[in-house]
Structures are given as C-alpha cells and as structure tokens.
A and B are shown apart, each in its own frame.
Chain A
C-alpha cells in the first residue's frame, strides 16, 4: 500500500519568513495530494490540494508543488503569520471518488512573533 513520509516533524519560523514542508510517497499510481491544517483541539481542514496533471498550485500565501518523477510534493507558506501556527498534514490517494487517503505523520509549525 501507499506510504507517505513527511518532514520536518516540527518547524519554527519567524513571523514574515517562509515555511516549507516536504512529503514523499511510494505509490506511483497516486495522483491526488491534499494538505490539511489542524489547529489545537480542532478538526483537520483542507487548505489546498493538487492533482498529478498540475505541477504547482497557489492560493494567496500558500502553494503546493508536485514532482511526480521523484514522488514528492511540498507545501510552501510565505509571509507567515501567528495564525499559521498549527499542525499540517500531507496525504496521497489514487484520486478516484471515495479513494482512501494515506496521511503523513504531520508537521507542527510554530510562527514566532
């Protein structure tokens, strides 16, 4: 089955700096890669996703890049703000309706004012 590795497990950045989280996956048939943000005590919420026919996707201060050849994808947060402090999870699936997501272990991001 699919295996998703996520690094780093913790990330501390100064407010205004950029943060980058990287994930690798093992199943070459995976073609859907979402990113979830989870604030303390809350549910995971989708912040951005990408499909394998796209190499990069942006939404305001966040962007995701995908390298299918190397089987890795990354989340980039620019101009970080204290409200970006949370745990971020990457995931992968084969992309059909109802297909199962395999999650990475999570990255705790702390943005220092």
Chain B
C-alpha cells in the first residue's frame, strides 16, 4: 500500500459539532482527494487538491471544507456535522505524471454522526 494514513480511523460525534479528518502521505504526491462512500453510491468526490494551498470542490462539497498547508497533509473539516454526513471517508493521492492517473487510497475513516 502507498504511504497514506488517515486519522482517526473511527469517530462518533454528535450533530452540530465540528469534526476534522486528517490524511497524511509520505509519497510526496502532488494531488490529494477526499471521497465519501455510501451504499449504492460508490465513491463520491468531496474536495481535491492540486498543490499546497490549491484546492477545489468535487460533486458533494456542501457542508465540507478542506485545507492543505503542507504537501503531505490534507485536512477535511465538517464545520457542523449532520447525520447525513455519517459515512466512510477515504483519502486518495496521485502523482504529478501526466502518463498515469492511478489514485491510491488510504485505509478510510468511519464517521458516525448521532
């Protein structure tokens, strides 16, 4: 597995509380992504980053924000968690090379919002 870790791996929180998930990579890859995975929906892109301080929205970005202050870290923040954000969150990374788009996934974070 590529050098990607996510923390925490499991979290239970209450509606209305802020939550921050961290993705850390040791591969020095330029691109980083946050997905959520829900039954029947596959993986849906929340936000992605194409460099330090460079981020953009994905298809399901409402209610989420991201930050990338260092190449190796990509943070996903739920400002005020809702039950609809209960999901498994995966981080992914990919290289800068134009010849390959392979995305490598982290181990995931299971988030439950009560």
Contact = CB atoms under 8 A, between A and B. Distances in A.
Is B one of A's binding partners?
yes
Interface of A: 1, 4, 6, 9, 32, 34, 36, 42-46, 49, 89, 91, 93, 95-106
Contacts, number: 68
Contacts of B50: 98
Interface residues of B, number: 29
B11 to A, nearest CB: 16
Interface of B: 1, 30-31, 33, 40-45, 48, 50, 58-59, 90, 94-98, 100-108
Given A9-B40, A91-B43, A105-B41, 11 more contacts: A4-B42, A34-B102, A43-B107, A46-B102, A97-B100, A98-B48, A99-B101, A101-B101, A101-B103, A102-B45, A106-B42
B93 to A, nearest CB: 10
Contacts of A105: 40-42
A89 B95 contact: no
